[in-house]
Amino acid sequence: MKQKETMSNTPSDDVIDDLDHVATSFDTPLRADAFEMDDELKIELISKHFKEIMQVLGLDLNDDSLKGTPNRVAKMYVQEVFSGLNPKNKPHARLFENKFGYDQMLVEKEITFYSHCEHHFVPIYGKAHVAYISSGKVIGLSKINRIVQYYAKRPQVQERMTVQIANELRSVLKTEDVAVVIDANHMCVSSRGVGDTNSKTGTAHFSGKFTNEDTKKEFLNYINTPA
């Protein structure tokens, strides 16, 4: 699936709310000063503002079940579900010599991930399937999972996440021969709006040897074969 690097003609604010997949770049849109504020202050401010949201909704923050919610949400946002925004959390990918001379595809399939839709801040969850062909170096298998998790843990659009993972693997592994397929459930589709609980969204990115139809077919057959 060929991806465009930039989507132009961004809709105006009055129509953006009706669109499910508006994106302006395959880089996560971050301000230049995004990390000048430390995590503790971010947690403090998010907690304050989320408390105000709960009060606007009419919730009783004196209730034992609710009074700790603003702080819990703030910590979850900064330390967990959006921790992939911060470059300091980027996994360090150590490479090893391909001493076995393995020159076929290596496939890591069914990597479970949890992300959040950047349009409604509700969960996206699913499976990522990744493959690469070594150009002389190999990567520890757990690092592939960590790369997927790093790009998932931020407000996302599935198309962007697919390309970000592929770009990172190409950069780290020094190979163009990379494939990424993602199948995901979007809570913005199933829990609101159309309310379709059965549909899934698929995205793919192929580069290098994986643009060859036989190589692509081999990869797709492998990830679609039950374990």
| Catalytic residue annotation | 117-120, 158, 186, 188
Sequence-separated (6 or more) residues with CB below 8 Å from residue 66 = 54, 59, 60
Residues in the chain: 227
Q: Is 205 annotated as a binding residue?
A: no
Cα separation values, 132 from 145, 146, 203, 224, Å: 13, 16, 17, 17
Cα atoms found within 13 Å of the Cα of residue 100, Cβ hemisphere only: 6
Q: Is 120 annotated as a binding residue?
A: yes
For the chain, the straight-line distance linking the first and the last C-alpha, in angstroms and rounded, comes to 25
Q: Is 188 annotated as a binding residue?
A: yes
Query: What token pair was written down for 145?
Result: 């999972």
Binding residues for Zn(2+): 117, 120, 188
Binding residues: 117, 120, 188
